[in-house]
Every structure is written in structure tokens, then in C-alpha cells.
Amino acid sequence: MWIFVLFDLPTKTKKDKRKYTDFRRFLLKDGFIMMQFSVYARICKGDDSIETHKKRVKEHLPSRGNIRMISITDLQYSKMETLVGEKKEEEKLEKKQLLLF
């Protein structure tokens, strides 16, 4: 399974920029990869792992902005199309890692 975090956070003030940076760093430390600007994804072993990471994201929410999470199955993820450009190296590696589970 995959969990996606999509967000739009304000960056007008220094305080807003710091909160944005802190949230982004948290996502990276928690194993998420950046698929696009403000779109991060992480592979999880199952529903329990999904719930664990949802809880962690909720614990690190900035006070302002718009954040959404969605989880999808590996089959749904495999049907995603990249229309312009190529998949990032991290995306390719994550799919190979999936085969190890």
C-alpha cells in the first residue's frame, strides 16, 4: 500500500517558511519521497503501517495551510501514468523495494 500527503502551506512570512520547511523535513525523515512539489508518497506494508504514518503526520501538522492524505493499493499505484518527463529515481527504487516484502 501507498500513502500520499499533498499539501499547500503558506510561505509569506519567515515563521510560515520555517513551518513549511519543518513539515517537509519531517516527511523526508519519516520515509516519504517527493514525487512533485508538495506531493509526497511512502510505501507501507499494510493498513497498520498506513495508520501509524497517518498518526505521525497528524502530530506534525502546521497550524495553517491545507494538507490531505490518501492511501492506495500497489495495484492502483502501478496504474499511475507519468505523462510528461520520467519517473524520479526514488520512485523506481521504491517499486523494486516493494518486491522484497
Collapsed DSSP state (helix, strand, coil) of residue 77: helix
Query: What integer pLDDT is reported at residue 86 of this predicted model?
Result: 78
Q: Is the pLDDT of residue 99 over 70?
A: no
Q: Give the pLDDT mean for 71-87.
A: 87
Q: How many independent structural domains does the chain possess? A: 1
Domain around 7: 2-98
**50: helix, coil or strand?**
helix
Q: State the pLDDT at residue 92.
A: 67
pTM (2 decimals)? 0.81
Query: Mean pLDDT of all residues in the chain?
Result: 88
Residue 10 CA to residue 50 CA, distance in Å, equals: 26
Cell of 37: 512539489
Report the candidate in 12, 43, 8 with the shortest Cα–Cα distance to residue 23: 8
Q: What is the CATH number of the domain that holds 73?
A: 3.30.70.240
The whole-number pLDDT of residue 82 equals 82
